[in-house]
Amino acid sequence: MKSRLFITVSAVALASLSAPAVAQMSMPGMTMPMAAKKRPTHKAAKPKQIARKTAPKKSAHKHSAAIRGSAVHARHASSVGMPMPMANGGTANPMSQSHGHPGAMSMPMPSQIEPQDQTQMPSQTQPGGTMQMRAPPQSSSEGMKMRMGQQPGQTSTSDMQMGGMSGNTGHEMQMRTAALGPYPEQRESSGTAWQPDSSNAMTGPMLMSGDWMLMAHGTANLIYDHQSGPRGDDKTFVSGMLMAMARHPLGSGAVQFRAMLSPDPLMGPAGYPLLLASGETANGTSPLLDRQHPHDFFMELSASASQNIGPKSSVFLYAGLPGEPAFGPPAFMHRESILDSPEAPISHHWLDSTHITFGVITAGVVLDRVKIEASQFNAREPDQHRWNIETGPLDSTSVRVSWNPLRTLSLQASWAHFKDPEQLEPGVNQTRWSASALWADDPSPGWHAAATLAWGRKSSNGHNDDGFAVEASIKHLGWTVFGRGEQVENRELLGSLSSSGFKVDKVSLGAVRDFQLADHLAVGAGGLFSLNFVPHALAPFYGSRDPTGMIGFLRLKLN
Ligand SMILES: [Cu+2]
């Protein structure tokens, strides 16, 4: 019954993909010059700006590839504090950033440069779409549904990237606000976490409905997993996530609702075999060892609201049940460096296991490239019941400072005090520290690369246990190659036999090849090989000092 619920929800989301009314989007690089609320004063704006607004009407299809990936949301000085999505938030296809492919221009064609004020043409229909009547019409894209699909293989999309456009400030250009502030949308990752502006991590279909921008993002993996040795196991299972977001302008900022669902509970309470992984429980009485716990069906149900307090600054509030507090790097399934890997990191509980926190409120301030935020949250890890929503006191605290010094780099440092996080260790508090650097760039035309360097520390009962992760991925054509190296100091691996800390390491290398099935849906096939390294003391338990893991997977991915 619960699985039926998930399937239904997934089916609805997938069905929306095939609707002709769906616009291609890349959340980070959302691409449509739409929803610009027009005011008469805009008639005086530069032709280029006007043309951007009018572009959807005249050339939504013809120039879809050009529009996708155009990078900046422009706002005229006279738009009275409303950050309007005139163009869009970024380089959806970083392959083409700054390479000036022929046909990659999102600059208006001459025929588009007509200073028409669409507010005077309320009943005009859009090509391929419907125009809802509304009096008075406020948006050039009111009710418009555009198809702006683009296959991943098509790299000749973008043109003007954020940096390029923001250099165009003679006319007070401004990026359209993201959910939490006036910066490129692709900076936003899971929860309130940041990633590099050059990231291309969240892709999926997008739909405008009035002033609402609706976005979907998701992956479903069918996995065969083999982990070697006496503590290993085999399993075939399904994992993944489906995320839906809805954003609307609010005052000088935006309100956003986000839901993320996971099919993980279908794999059963004991999760899947993953050597050296530990954390949470399958039955409420014993810890999960050498297995990765399933995520709860509800991974995120959150709302956020932001208000700009300056051209590059904002304040925001975020609340989730569940949600992600301001701690650590973005969650692994959203980190561009490793999101193609179907397995969880063994450093999950050092770095980012808080991404499914049952109860969190975060307040933050954005000052240009810096974000400072604090959360009050319920640090108790999810229990073995994976279909429910849990509650608890918001008695834990975290603080995170994020800094994107370059378009290609995102840094964070964070601290958290966890009150009573472990179901199996009641009354034991924990302090965690984390620092990370995320990088993303196009090393050469047609290639995209991402990397993460992260450190996390768990302190409790007088112990400090460190975890490190280095991750990288590179994409070219339909191929993605990804790898990760990790080291953690784990005191849970022998359960009640010993609470000594053991330094264990793991390296994994994998690849996946995606094939486009439809405009917004790709199917991929991939594999992954892992080598684990355990100290002598653990070798008898694992059968050797270097047990291995192998995973083969098929996946469906929204893009
Ligand atoms: Cu997790």
Domain-by-domain residue ranges, the chain? 2-112+147-171, 185-558
> 269 alpha carbon to ligand 1 midpoint, in Å?
14
Please classify residue 136 by burial: count the beta carbons closer than 10 Å to its beta carbon, then call 0-12 exposed, 13-18 middle and 19+ buried.
exposed
The top-level CATH class assigned to 185-558 is mainly beta
The pLDDT value recorded for residue 362 is: 98
- Assess contact for 272 and 329: CB atoms under 8 A: no
> 122 alpha carbon to ligand 1 midpoint, in Å?
47
Number of H helices, E strands in the chain: 6, 20
In the DSSP assignment, the letter for residue 370 is: E
Q: Of 280, 317, 297, which is closest to residue 239 (Cα–Cα)? A: 297
> 296 alpha carbon to ligand 1 midpoint, in Å?
9
pLDDT at 188 over 90: yes
The pLDDT value recorded for residue 334 is: 95
The pLDDT value recorded for residue 422 is: 86
Cβ neighbors of 134 (< 8 A, separation 6 or more) are 122, 142, 143, 210
The pLDDT value recorded for residue 176 is: 54
The pLDDT value recorded for residue 405 is: 98
> 16 alpha carbon to ligand 1 midpoint, in Å?
27
3-state secondary structure 37-97: ECCHHHHHCCHHHHHHHHHHHHHCCCCHHHHCCCCCCCCCCCCCCCCCCCCCCCCCCHHHC
The pLDDT value recorded for residue 425 is: 87
- Assess contact for 529 and 25: CB atoms under 8 A: no
> 489 alpha carbon to ligand 1 midpoint, in Å?
18
> 12 alpha carbon to ligand 1 midpoint, in Å?
25
pLDDT at 532 over 60: yes
pLDDT at 137 over 60: no
pLDDT band at residue 68 using 50, 70 and 90 as cut-offs? very low
Share of the chain above pLDDT 90, in %: 62
Residue of higher predicted confidence among 67 and 215: 215
Tokens of 432: 């965690």
Please classify residue 1 by burial: count the beta carbons closer than 10 Å to its beta carbon, then call 0-12 exposed, 13-18 middle and 19+ buried.
exposed
Does 322 sit behind a cis peptide bond, omega within 30 degrees of 0 on the bond before it?
A: yes
- Alpha carbon distance 203, 197 (integer Å): 14
Q: Of 72, 82, 77, 91, which is closest to residue 33 (Cα–Cα)? A: 72
> 348 alpha carbon to ligand 1 midpoint, in Å?
7
3-state secondary structure 166-182: HCCHHHCCCCCCCCCCC
- Assess contact for 86 and 177: CB atoms under 8 A: no
**Considering only 161-165, 285-289, 335-339, which range has the smallest mean pLDDT?**
161-165
The pLDDT value recorded for residue 117 is: 38
> 37 alpha carbon to ligand 1 midpoint, in Å?
40
> 42 alpha carbon to ligand 1 midpoint, in Å?
47
At 25 the three-state DSSP class reads: strand
Amino acid at position 455, single letter? W
> 403 alpha carbon to ligand 1 midpoint, in Å?
24
pLDDT at 1 over 90: no
Alpha helices in 313-399 (DSSP H): 348-351
- Alpha carbon distance 231, 540 (integer Å): 10
> 356 alpha carbon to ligand 1 midpoint, in Å?
6
- Alpha carbon distance 521, 432 (integer Å): 38
> 331 alpha carbon to ligand 1 midpoint, in Å?
7
> 166 alpha carbon to ligand 1 midpoint, in Å?
36
At 451 the three-state DSSP class reads: strand
> Would you report the helix, strand and coil content of the chain in percent, each value rounded to 5?
15, 40, 45
> 422 alpha carbon to ligand 1 midpoint, in Å?
14
> 446 alpha carbon to ligand 1 midpoint, in Å?
32
> 478 alpha carbon to ligand 1 midpoint, in Å?
27
Q: Of 150, 177, 3, 137, which is closest to residue 57 (Cα–Cα)? A: 137
pTM of the model: 0.71
> 362 alpha carbon to ligand 1 midpoint, in Å?
19
Please classify residue 160 by burial: count the beta carbons closer than 10 Å to its beta carbon, then call 0-12 exposed, 13-18 middle and 19+ buried.
buried
Q: Of 530, 546, 535, which is closest to residue 489 (Cα–Cα)? A: 535
- Alpha carbon distance 75, 170 (integer Å): 12
Amino acid at position 138, single letter? Q
pLDDT at 482 over 60: yes
The pLDDT value recorded for residue 500 is: 86
168: phi then psi, degrees, rounded to nearest 5: -85, 45
The pLDDT value recorded for residue 351 is: 95
pLDDT band at residue 217 using 50, 70 and 90 as cut-offs? very high
> 130 alpha carbon to ligand 1 midpoint, in Å?
41
> 495 alpha carbon to ligand 1 midpoint, in Å?
21
> 241 alpha carbon to ligand 1 midpoint, in Å?
11
pLDDT at 517 over 50: yes
326: phi then psi, degrees, rounded to nearest 5: -80, 75
> 344 alpha carbon to ligand 1 midpoint, in Å?
7
Q: Kindly report the number of other CB atoms within 10 A of residue 234's CB atom.
A: 12
> 168 alpha carbon to ligand 1 midpoint, in Å?
41
Region 462-468: what's the mean pLDDT?
A: 95
> 294 alpha carbon to ligand 1 midpoint, in Å?
8
At 316 the three-state DSSP class reads: strand
> 301 alpha carbon to ligand 1 midpoint, in Å?
15
- Alpha carbon distance 446, 93 (integer Å): 9
> 267 alpha carbon to ligand 1 midpoint, in Å?
14
pLDDT at 229 over 80: yes
> 321 alpha carbon to ligand 1 midpoint, in Å?
15
- Alpha carbon distance 549, 529 (integer Å): 6
> 114 alpha carbon to ligand 1 midpoint, in Å?
51
The pLDDT value recorded for residue 353 is: 92
The pLDDT value recorded for residue 231 is: 96
Region 401-417: what's the mean pLDDT?
A: 98
Share of the chain above pLDDT 70, in %: 68
Question: What are the C-alpha distances in Å from 155 to residues 87, 425, 445?
Answer: 19, 51, 9
The pLDDT value recorded for residue 218 is: 94
143: phi then psi, degrees, rounded to nearest 5: 65, 5
- Alpha carbon distance 149, 24 (integer Å): 4
